[in-house]
Amino acid sequence: MKLVTYEANGTVSIGLLSENGVTDLPRADTSLPATMAEFLHAGEEALDKARRISGNGVDYPHGEYRLLAPLARPPKILAIGLNYRAHAEESGSEIPVVPLVFTKQSTSATGPFDDVWLPAETQMLDYEGELGIVIGKRCRRVPRERAHEVVAGYCVVNDVSVRNWQLRGKPPQFTMGKSWDTHCPFGPAIVTPDEVDPHTLGLRTLVNGEIRQNSNTDDLIFNCWEIIEFLSTAFTLEVGDLIVTGTPSGVGMAMKPPQSLKAGDIVRVEIDGLGAIENPIVTEPDVALI
């Protein structure tokens, strides 16, 4: 199943995405909640009801709805750096012996087709197409052989990076360089684990139609199960947490010469079986809150 959060006719709800459009879940079964967070917390019972609905006709054909971030505010966004062998090599870095973990603030989350802001503070905005894992069960100390049991599904993520903020100072400021508002577009859906093998998925990132990243998740240094085991050893993973598993080679910073994103660019990230997200790069609007 492809679980989505969407807006239609001024109302936000959750549904199932198919080749024909979106089927609204709470409309089909009034016992189901209208938010993805509540749906995931409802666990297997809600998933079973959704499976029974999956054969229904669509409520909104393509063009009559807008896909939003599957989760408006993930409890945690946990990311892994240098987790593809080819990317570590292009960065001139040693292969990590344990996962390199950093966080993106939850306010960086945005929709799969929403604008990504180019701040005035940088001329070094970069893309990083990545596989995302959405946690479906509250868990701690999960052994890798059982890690698949806590996964709600998978999605496409762009770990947008402000490189000059990431690299300022020693050691690098990963959290500050990765957490700007709108710098974690993800979606278009949460694809349930029965539909894909997360370790054999082709991944491509395109800028203005030009392929920049073209890899496969079989190049991950630490696979999804190892990442979940590692993270959950230290702290509890919660329902709705988003784990961003790392980017393959081909980032703009590593190109010769480096190629930074600019206003007007369109960044598309595709992953086999999960779909694609596509985000325009726009100059950050005046959104000061003081």
pLDDT (mean) for 107-130: 97
Tens of pLDDT, residue by residue over 79-88, are 999 999 887 7
Residue 288 is encoded by which pair of tokens?
A: 């000061």
- pLDDT of residue 290 exceeding 80, the answer is no
Q: What is the pLDDT of residue 43?
A: 97
- At residue 95 the predicted structure's pLDDT band, cuts being 50, 70 and 90, is confident
How far apart are the C-alpha atoms of 162 and 278, rounded to whole Å? 18
- At residue 287 the predicted structure's pLDDT band, cuts being 50, 70 and 90, is confident
- At residue 6 the predicted structure's pLDDT band, cuts being 50, 70 and 90, is very high
Q: What is the pLDDT of residue 206?
A: 98
Mean pLDDT score of the chain: 96
- Strand 60-61 relative to strand 21-24, pairing: antiparallel
Q: Which amino acid is at 73?
A: R
Look at the pTM and tell me if it is higher than 0.85.
yes
- At residue 94 the predicted structure's pLDDT band, cuts being 50, 70 and 90, is confident
Structural domains in the chain plus CATH codes: 2-67 (no CATH), 77-283 (3.90.850.10)
Q: What is the pLDDT of residue 23?
A: 98
